[in-house]
């Protein structure tokens, strides 16, 4: 009696499924839209995105430029790592400078020193000058309430604005990429990932990230329950005492508003264990600009922010 032929079974892991989805989305953008670009700051999410883009088109080069809206308030370690990766991969880096926009009178610096809201006008202006009609970004739904509302392919009108009540359906992962002249699409290939997924992927793929993501000693001070590093863009006010602590950064946005967290995690694997036990998102724990109001992010997104 013949033995039945056994066929090997393959069950993809959670990371493999997420990677496959993201690569499909990135390829879909390139196939359907004329002038795409990918947002790239040198932070962990944008590094994962660029790694996915490199895998999507290997062995060919990445077929679109990367765009950084530079507030001028950057962590030095992140900026130098951005330049290192761009040079290594041979991609074209387009920079929209907030400082340049201030100097030209396009935007006016706010009294508190934050430049986050100023990024919106600079982003829209840079996208228009370069005729980008699709911008891919590393936003994830688990980061913030407004980002959880947004579709993977997010339509923007001819003013670059987002209407949360007027979003296109994405049934069965079918994406509507149709845009008219002046309109654009924002695309979020890692929208379904979590912070833990990001670090799991970084560990699995051996992706390098700026050193400040890992535990290190830094001079800090406490403000509103958060630990801010002392540097040229963030100085203690009267009554705020500085001290040295072992910290790391969970996110690396505007250096004037981004806080660190106490941590001893010095590897991606150790960060995975740390993230798995936390109940506060990285933005909630470290981004001072999101504490302005519960609707702060949604308001900025309606104006054209990522």
Q: 3-class secondary structure for 201-266?
A: HHHHHCCCCCHHHCCEEEEEEEECCEEEECECCECCCCCCCEEEEEEECCCCCCCCCECEEECCCC
> pLDDT category, 9, cuts 50, 70, 90?
low
Q: Record the pTM.
A: 0.89
pLDDT at 115: 76
> pLDDT category, 8, cuts 50, 70, 90?
low
pLDDT at 149: 77
> pLDDT category, 175, cuts 50, 70, 90?
confident
> pLDDT category, 117, cuts 50, 70, 90?
confident
* pLDDT of 291 over the 60 cut: no
DSSP 8-state class, residue 106:
S
Q: What would the mean pLDDT of 130-145 be, rounded to a whole number?
A: 88
pLDDT at 169: 84
* pLDDT of 119 over the 80 cut: yes
> pLDDT category, 2, cuts 50, 70, 90?
low
pLDDT at 158: 79
Q: Which token pair is 257?
A: 């508003």
- Please give the Cα distance from 245 to 57 (Å, whole number): 43
Q: Write out pLDDT tens, residues 207-217.
A: 999 999 999 99
pLDDT at 249: 93
pLDDT at 176: 84
* pLDDT of 289 over the 60 cut: no
Task: Point out the least confidently predicted range of 30-44, 60-74, 146-160, 289-303.
Answer: 289-303
pLDDT at 166: 81
> Are the beta carbons of 192 and 231 closer than 8 angstroms?
no
CB atoms inside a 10 Å sphere around CB 207: 18
**Could you tell me which residues are beta bridge partners of residue 255?**
none
> pLDDT category, 190, cuts 50, 70, 90?
very high
Q: What percent of the chain has pLDDT over 90?
A: 51
Q: Write out pLDDT tens, residues 237-287.
A: 888 899 999 999 999 888 888 899 999 999 999 999 999 988 777 766 666
Q: What would the mean pLDDT of 37-53 be, rounded to a whole number?
A: 96
E strands in the chain = 36-39, 66-70, 93-97, 134-136, 153-156, 184-187, 216-223, 226-229, 242-248, 261-262
Q: What percent of the chain has pLDDT over 70?
A: 88
């Amino acid at each position: 009696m013949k033995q039945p032929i056994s066929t090997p079974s393959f069950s993809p892991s959670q990371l493999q499924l997420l990677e496959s989805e993201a690569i499909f989305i990135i390829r879909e953008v390139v196939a359907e839209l004329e002038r795409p670009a990918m947002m790239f700051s040198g932070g962990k999410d944008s590094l994962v995105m660029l790694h996915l883009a490199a895998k999507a088109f290997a062995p060919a080069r990445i077929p679109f430029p990367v765009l950084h809206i530079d507030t001028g308030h950057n962590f030095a370690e992140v900026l130098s790592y951005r330049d290192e990766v761009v040079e290594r991969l041979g991609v074209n880096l387009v920079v929209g400078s907030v400082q340049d926009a201030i100097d030209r009178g396009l935007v006016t610096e706010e009294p508190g020193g934050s430049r986050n809201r100023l990024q919106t006008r600079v982003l829209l202006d840079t996208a228009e000058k370069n005729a980008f009609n699709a911008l891919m970004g590393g936003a994830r739904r688990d980061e913030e309430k407004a980002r959880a509302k947004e579709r993977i392919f997010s339509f923007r009108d001819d003013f670059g604005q987002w209407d949360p009540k007027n979003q296109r359906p994405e049934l069965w992962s079918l994406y509507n990429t149709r845009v008219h002249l002046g309109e654009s699409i924002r695309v979020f290939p890692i929208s379904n990932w979590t912070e833990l997924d990001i670090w799991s992927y970084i560990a699995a793929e051996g992706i390098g990230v700026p050193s400040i993501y890992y535990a290190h000693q830094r001079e800090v001070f406490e403000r509103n329950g958060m630990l801010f590093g002392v540097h040229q863009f963030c100085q203690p006010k009267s009554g705020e005492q500085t001290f040295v602590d072992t910290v790391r950064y969970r996110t690396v946005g505007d250096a004037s508003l981004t806080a660190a967290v106490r941590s001893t995690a010095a590897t991606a694997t150790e960060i995975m264990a740390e993230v798995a036990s936390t109940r506060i998102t990285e933005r909630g724990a470290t981004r001072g600009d999101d504490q302005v109001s519960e609707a702060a992010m949604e308001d900025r997104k309606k104006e054209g922010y990522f």
